[in-house]
Structure formats: structure tokens, C-alpha cells
Amino acid sequence: MSLVEKQAMINPQQANLSIRKQCKLLELNRATIYYRAQPENAYNLLLMRMLDEEYTRHPFQGVEKMVLYLEDLGHHVNHKRVRRLLRLMGLIAIYPRKRNLSEPHPGHKLYPYLLKGLAITKPNQVFCTDITYIRLRQGFMYLVAVMDWYSRYVLSWKLSNTLDASFCVESLQDALLYYGCPEIFNTDQGAQFTSEAFISTLLANGIKISMDGKGRAFDNIFIERLWRTVKYEEVYLHDYSSAVEAKEKLGEYFKFYNYERRHQGLGYRTPAEVYFGEKPVDLWTSPSDQPEPYGTCGKTDGQLFELTTALPHSLASCPQFHRLSKSDF
């Protein structure tokens, strides 16, 4: 059970058990209940913006080269601060690693990378997911997306202000519920994707699990390209004032990305044209317009996953709802 899941089980109103006893039963440090993280100061946020832009341009730059990059811009920052900020942003340099350079956590379940040499020839054969950092004018958020590998169609996405696993699980559940189960689901080895909640959702639906090699972001190349595209075509062109604005603007962009943006690698077709083939493409855009789930995927013991919010950004398809037109954009 993750730290966040344990914290969520603490009930201050429980009459029979004090918080001290609840923490003891859960093997949880009581200090984690009362601790409130302090927001990053304005200078650190500025450094994070510059690091994010440089990482997007050159993802192979490690801590030392990032320090030199900042020095060239007139910011003399030590490597400890740069390393902390990169970790906070979830950014790791891409470079070949020696075998057994680091041992996995004892509780970390490793799965092999299944996509090497695999011919991916149809939609819903392979889904993939990843997380990236999204800057705000004051602060930052994390963005997770689930993508169909063959068509590059973004199936679902969510924003969060923390790196806990819950928003990744919710995005996964959305994708399975409204688009069906893939044969293989590919992720990196991040804690969010190796959490019990995430792995159990995949296993319960009979989905094969594939994981990138440690430090090998190119194993998940198409979603890495998605992040680059999203940042250059959307995030860096706007200065989001709040999480609400970021969600609204990203929702508009993903609609454009799926249904209007043509990809050279797809023969200048849109992801929606490839994913849905020649069939009509429809969207649901309000809580009352939620379509029926696709098949039996996304169910456990006959029960549908309970979605905590209605997500107009899930871009689910269902023929009984309104047809996409230019006025929708």
C-alpha cells in the first residue's frame, strides 16, 4: 500500500481510534499526516521553466550539463539544487546505462519490455502512458496521458498537483472503460505505474504488461514525442495562470491533436482517422453525455469502475452522441 493510500485511510473523526493508533496500525509515520509541503519560491519556478525547456530540446542532458546550461544564462546554481528540481519535475536524462548499475526496490515488480521487434499493426493492440511536467505562472502540475501506440490517438489524460498514483489509475480506468482493453500496455518503471492499484487494474483485465528498460525513454518513443509536441505547440505558447486554465487549454489542444492535426508518420492523416478507420467519429463533452462502456473491459467483478469526475477531455466515442463538426473546436 502506498503512502498516499495509507494517508487517505486516516480518519480524524474516528472515536474509537486515535490518530496515533491509526498510524501505528498502518505503520505510518505520524508526522506525514501533519506535514504540508511548502510551495517552491519564484526563483526555483523560474529555474524549473528553463530546465523544462532545455530538457524538451535535449533530453540527454544530465545534471552537470544542466548546471552549465544555467550558468551560461547567468544563473549560478549548484548541482544539488538542479538535481532536486529535476527529480521534482520527474525528468531523467536519456542515456545508455550499464547493466546492474542500480538495483530495483525489493517491492518493485519488474516486467519485461515486450515491444522489441513486435509488429504493431492495428489500434488497441498496444496502449502506452507517461507523465510530464506542466508549468504554470505560479507553480506547476503533472500531466498523464494514455495513448494508442498504432494511431497516436490520445485516449485519456489527467492533471494533478502531486505525483501519487491515483490520477494515473483514473486515467487508465477511463481509457479501458471507454475504448476497451489493449493486448499490451507499456509504461516506464515509475512508482505510479508499478503501484499495486495500477498493476492490479491491468492484470484484472487480462492485459499483458510491458515496461521500458530503466533510463530508456526511447522504449516509449511515441508518447515522448507527444510531450515534445504538446509543449512546443501549446504549453510554451501560453502562460497558464491556474490549473483550471491549464486544463481548459490542454483539453482544447488534445481535441485538435486527435481530430485535426495531421501526422507525417500516419500518411498525413489524423490520429482519429487512423484509430477509428472510416467509421464516423463522435465525442461526448458533458457529464450527461457519457457513452456506454465498451464491451466488458474496465469492469471488476461485474461492476464498472466508479469515475470520480466526468471528464470531457476523455474524448470517448459513441455513435448515439453528437457528431464532431468544425463548430466543436
Q: Is 110 within 8 Å of 104 (Cβ atoms)?
A: yes
Residues 83 and 179 in one domain: no
**Domains held by the chain: number:** 3
Residues 178 and 253 in one domain: yes
Residues 156 and 202 in one domain: yes
Integer-rounded Cα Rg, in Å, for the chain is 21
What is the grid cell recorded at 169? 489509475
Tell me the pairing of strands 208-211 and 184-187. Answer: parallel
Does the global pTM surpass 0.75? no
Residues 156 and 178 in one domain: yes
Residues 21 and 50 in one domain: no
| Residue 212 lies inside a defined structural domain of this protein | yes
Residues 173 and 259 in one domain: yes
User: What CATH code is carried by the domain that includes residue 322?
Assistant: 3.30.420.10
328 Rama sector, left if φ>0, alpha if ψ -120 to 50, beta otherwise: alpha
What string of pLDDT tens digits covers the 329 residues of the chain? 556 667 778 888 887 888 888 888 888 887 777 766 677 888 888 898 888 888 878 777 788 888 888 988 899 998 899 888 888 877 777 554 433 323 344 566 779 999 988 999 999 999 999 999 898 888 889 999 999 999 999 999 999 988 888 999 999 999 999 999 999 999 988 888 988 899 999 999 999 999 987 555 456 788 888 998 999 899 988 889 899 999 999 999 999 999 999 998 899 899 999 999 854 344 333 333 334 444 456 554 444 443 333 333 333 333 222 233 333 33
Residues 70 and 30 in one domain: no
Q: How many CA atoms lie within 13 A of 74 on its CB side?
A: 2
Q: Which residue(s) pair with 144 in the sheet? A: 131, 158
Residues 172 and 84 in one domain: no
Domain that holds residue 231: 126-328
Residues 65 and 183 in one domain: no
